Structure 1
Amino acid sequence: MHKNRPMSDLPEAFYLPLGDGCYEPTRATESPWSPDAQHGGPPTALLAHELDATAAPGMRLARISVDFLGPIPRRRLRIEVSTLRPGRQIALAEATMIVDDRPAVIARAWHIATGPTPPAAGAPFDPPPPLPEAQEDWHDPDLDGWGYGQAIEWRHTHGLGETSGHAEVWTRVRIPLIAGEKPTGLARALIVADSANGISLALPMRQWLSIPPTMTATLGRLPEGEWVHMAARTRLSDDGLGVAHATMSDLTGYLGEVTQPLLVRER
């Protein structure tokens, strides 16, 4: 394993803003499968950022469902947002990432109005494991150097290097989502959310594909601080499909859930 890449070697952000809803993806968005494609995490967070910008004051993103229409080219892109269901308490909006004049990713997000603290906290939640000391980076030796993997700090608490279908890891996004803007809690959660299936591999990556065409994240609250923990599990069926699921938390407690259906095929 290689040591953590110095911050000076990383791009300044995942995306460079070009104005009018256009962005240039940097090497930090690079997929493990191709240097010309983006990992699903940064596009998810960027679409959520644009959707959040259109939400009414006092509304918070509660759920986002993202559909990947194919490999996401790592080229200049633009984002278009439309409101599907306006409302003061609950609203639904859609954002489309367009590359080369073709839709590449579509996201729908529900925003819900915030209000007074409820008198009960709901079901109890087991706190995540303590944050470990700094570790060597998690990566596949065949994928050394891929941009997204190096733009995240990974500190495993369970299952490092296993293919048991269960792994847990603390994550810290090392650079902003957008150049010139401070990282938000929403961005920190969603940049890593689409990694649930990669974290909890049930089969060796070199021999098997595990592809999520869509991802849904439901957030009870937004993370506080830099660290987000993912407790991920992958379960496979007997007909070439699977489901990856992750429970997300931060140092103070529960955040939400991630679910991905999987296409599972031998290479």
Structure 2
Amino acid sequence: MSEDLTAFYLPVDEHVFDSTEATQSPWDFSLQHGGPPAGLLARAVDAARPDDSMRIARITIDMLGGIPQGRTRTEATVVRPGRRVEMVEARLWVDDRLAVTATAWRIRVAPGSTTEVAASEAPAPLPAEQSPHTLTGVDPSWGYGRAMEWRFVAGGYGTLGPALVWGRPRVPLVAGETTSHTSRLLTMADSANGLSVELPMSEWLSIPSTLTATIQRTPEDEWMLLDARTSIGPDGIGLTRAQVYDQHGFSAEIAQPLLVARR
């Protein structure tokens, strides 16, 4: 990783940021990968009405096209307030163009109020450090790829099909801030389809315009395990599903519908 990758975004003020090289899409360096904007929108949702006892339980990120590099601004509004459940809408603008929206439900947590019903599943152990991986046909200097670390238990960039892979961001979401666990999860979530692609990327497009994360328990650790798989229907629509774990067990589910088409 080059020394210039210090964060995904540099703050201008509380809600305005400059994107950095670390956000680069693998397919076009003038665009942002979907992960960092998703993480930034999760940050905006939680800042809409700061309350440590309210937690994002479901968030849907809608990408309205390619997300340009540049000056990035977020805003969020509580559209359905409530004492125990609330709905928040957030928007991300790049150079005054609306680029990404989010809808989130937050639920008030009460630690110790319930007994865990689903037994925690022991995740696959974190492997030792692995050699850097890169996507076939992609310039290995792409920023998001260098800003993330992946350690595969099964699958890999050169392997089609399901993947079981630990990952973590190497840099903070916003320079000078500690990234929240939910924002770290969302920064990784958009990678699920690329990690479990079923058709060669050199021949096929596999484009997610949206993703939904349903979070039962906020991941507590730096490293998160994605158990990702993609299925493809007979009419050009695919679906990537991923379960997310940390060292303590199950955390969340990710779903991404895909446009699948020949290049």
Task: Normalising by structure 1, report the TM-score.
Answer: 0.94
Match of 1:75 in 2: 70
The Cα of 1:56 is off from its aligned counterpart by 4.5
The answer as to whether partners of 1:56 and 1:88 remain within 8 angstroms in 2 is no
Letter in 2 for 1:64: I
Match of 2:260 in 1: 264
The answer as to whether partners of 1:220 and 1:256 remain within 8 angstroms in 2 is yes
User: Matches of 1:121 and 1:199 in 2, distance apart?
Assistant: 31
User: Matches of 1:117 and 1:111 in 2, distance apart?
Assistant: 18
Structure 1 residue ranges (4+ consecutive) displaced by more than 3 angstroms after TM superposition: none
Matched, 1:44 2:41: no
Letter in 2 for 1:210: S
User: Matches of 1:151 and 1:20 in 2, distance apart?
Assistant: 23
The Cα of 1:125 is off from its aligned counterpart by 4.4
The Cα of 1:243 is off from its aligned counterpart by 0.2
Gaps of 5+ in 2: none
The Cα of 1:138 is off from its aligned counterpart by 2.3
Tell me, what secondary structure is at the counterpart of 1:218?
strand
Tell me, what secondary structure is at the counterpart of 2:179?
coil
Letter in 1 for 2:32: Q
- Tell me: CA distance 1:56–1:75, structure 2 relative to 1, closer, same or farther (3 Å): closer
Match of 2:209 in 1: 213
Letter in 2 for 1:134: E
The answer as to whether partners of 2:213 and 2:253 remain within 8 angstroms in 1 is yes
The answer as to whether partners of 1:10 and 1:151 remain within 8 angstroms in 2 is no
Letter in 2 for 1:174: R
Matched, 1:90 2:80: no
The Cα of 1:53 is off from its aligned counterpart by 1.0
Alignment of 1:195-206 (within 5 A): 195-206=191-202
Of 159, 163, 167, 2:160 maps to 163
Bigger shift: residues 93-102 or 123-132? 123-132
Alignment of 1:79-118 (within 5 A): 79-118=74-113
Of 226, 229, 236, 1:233 maps to 229
The answer as to whether partners of 1:188 and 1:228 remain within 8 angstroms in 2 is no
Letter in 1 for 2:133: W
User: Matches of 1:258 and 1:185 in 2, distance apart?
Assistant: 15
The Cα of 1:9 is off from its aligned counterpart by 2.5
Tell me, what secondary structure is at the counterpart of 1:124?
coil
The answer as to whether partners of 2:153 and 2:164 remain within 8 angstroms in 1 is yes
Gaps of 5+ in 1: none
Letter in 2 for 1:32: P
- Tell me: CA distance 1:86–1:227, structure 2 relative to 1, closer, same or farther (3 Å): same
Bigger shift: residues 214-223 or 236-245? 214-223
User: Matches of 1:53 and 1:245 in 2, distance apart?
Assistant: 28
User: Matches of 1:156 and 1:90 in 2, distance apart?
Assistant: 37
User: Matches of 1:171 and 1:56 in 2, distance apart?
Assistant: 28
Residues 150-177 of structure 1: CA distance to partner in whole angstroms, max 9, x if unpaired? Answer: 101100001122112x111000110000
User: Matches of 2:76 and 2:115 in 1, distance apart?
Assistant: 36
The Cα of 1:101 is off from its aligned counterpart by 2.0
Tell me, what secondary structure is at the counterpart of 2:46?
helix
Count of aligned residue pairs for this structure pair: 260
Letter in 1 for 2:8: F
User: Matches of 1:184 and 1:263 in 2, distance apart?
Assistant: 31
Residues 59-109 of structure 1: CA distance to partner in whole angstroms, max 9, x if unpaired? Answer: 111111000000000111211211210111001111111123221000011
Tell me, what secondary structure is at the counterpart of 2:185?
helix
The Cα of 1:127 is off from its aligned counterpart by 2.0
Residues 187-208 of structure 1: CA distance to partner in whole angstroms, max 9, x if unpaired? Answer: 2211101111001010111111
Percent identity for Structure 1 against Structure 2: 47
